[in-house]
Amino acid sequence: MVRRKRAGFTHKQLAAKTGVQLHWIRRYEFDRCLPPQPEWDSLRKFLKLPPKPILTFTQPEKPIDRPKIGEHLRRRRLELKLCLAEAAPRMGVSVPTLGLWELGKAFPKHCYHAQIGTGILTSKHVTLEREYSGKLWLTFATEERSAVHHILREAKIPADFKDLASRAATLADLDQLVEKLTKEGGEHNKAASATLTDAKEKLLGEATDLRAAALDAILKLVPQFFYFDEYSSLPGSIKIQELMTKQKDDLSEDESTARSLLELAGAESEYLLNADYEVRKRELENVANSITQDVLKYWTTNSELRVMIDIRQSS
């Protein structure tokens, strides 16, 4: 589906271009069957696909695997010549926790993300409020001293400045340390000054202070909310022949809801109204799968939820 959309084709457009029937394209996208080579070759003319048919052919290739977080933590710890007992307290976690991270048996929580640093966000709960105007209000607490320590860990502080660095409790103190390192000169002092400056910029990003940086990080984790106070109901059963042949202006509200749902899934009238039940059933499965996929994008409470649609003829 991703590749088709990136190529700018709807189901109908791709079917018209390739000569592959619409309902088969939908079945291929939902991995209901493997495309035969001739149809695959037709699809390859318009989509970037491998030579041989595969399932999930419309999904993007898997990204290149990056080193696991545990491998990165272990490599960095060894670079700093620290044992687990020395590294864990600096990160604000227990030795067993750090050990599990390095072994890949557990994964660090968001509060240990490198962008923010351990212990900077001290609130166990973040309160978010929204005004009717759309303005957001967030309540949380941060610890600037932890941010400073997080930055200092990135640099090798010269011996003459370690005492001053240990007393730094605010970003203003850190700026003074950087200024003195730069003023003192020397290769090691300049290297430490540059490292501290880069680490601070990395932590703050485009924010002007620590609280604004924490706010940016929190907002990235806020889920999307939907508010609606009006909705249309879908009738339990409808007369499909009338529904698909009526003019849109002549549809009732319930019928319009049902018609819109079928159109959203790309349903084809010629298949829905076909006298052969197997043909209708195949199209309905495609429609149900398409709607289910859209629903599960936003409804995550029950991942086993499935939409079922059936059409039966009556005398």
42-81 pLDDT tens trace: 888 888 788 887 655 544 444 433 446 778 788 888 888 8
Q: Does the pLDDT at position 272 exceed 80?
A: no
- pLDDT grade for 314, boundaries at 50, 70 and 90: low
Average pLDDT over residues 73-95: 80
What gap in Å lies between CA 291 and CA 284, rounded to an integer? 10
Residue at 1: amino acid letter: M
What gap in Å lies between CA 293 and CA 59, rounded to an integer? 14
What gap in Å lies between CA 120 and CA 109, rounded to an integer? 13
Contact 191, 161 (CB under 8 A): no
Of residues 169 and 231, more confidence is placed in 169
Q: Which two tokens stand for residue 151?
A: 């930055």
- pLDDT grade for 31, boundaries at 50, 70 and 90: low
Contact 310, 236 (CB under 8 A): no
What gap in Å lies between CA 22 and CA 64, rounded to an integer? 33
Q: Does the pLDDT at position 122 exceed 50?
A: yes
- pLDDT grade for 214, boundaries at 50, 70 and 90: confident
Facing residues of 176 across strands? none
pLDDT tens-digit map of 235-256: 777 887 888 888 888 888 888 8
Q: How far is CA 145 from the centre of its chain?
A: 31
Considering the entire predicted model, what is its pTM? 0.40
Q: Does the pLDDT at position 18 exceed 60?
A: yes
pLDDT tens-digit map of 124-169: 678 888 777 778 788 888 888 888 888 888 888 888 888 888 888 8
What gap in Å lies between CA 209 and CA 224, rounded to an integer? 26
Helices 22-29, 277-298: crossing angle, 10 deg rounding? 40
Q: How far is CA 299 from the centre of its chain?
A: 15
pLDDT of residue 60: 44
pLDDT of residue 298: 75
Average pLDDT over residues 83-100: 78
Q: Does the pLDDT at position 206 exceed 60?
A: yes
- For 274-287, b/e burial (b = at least 16 CB within 10 A) is beeeeebebbbbbb
Residue found under tokens 């932890």: 146
pLDDT of residue 61: 42
Greatest mean pLDDT range, 159-173, 216-230, 273-287 = 159-173
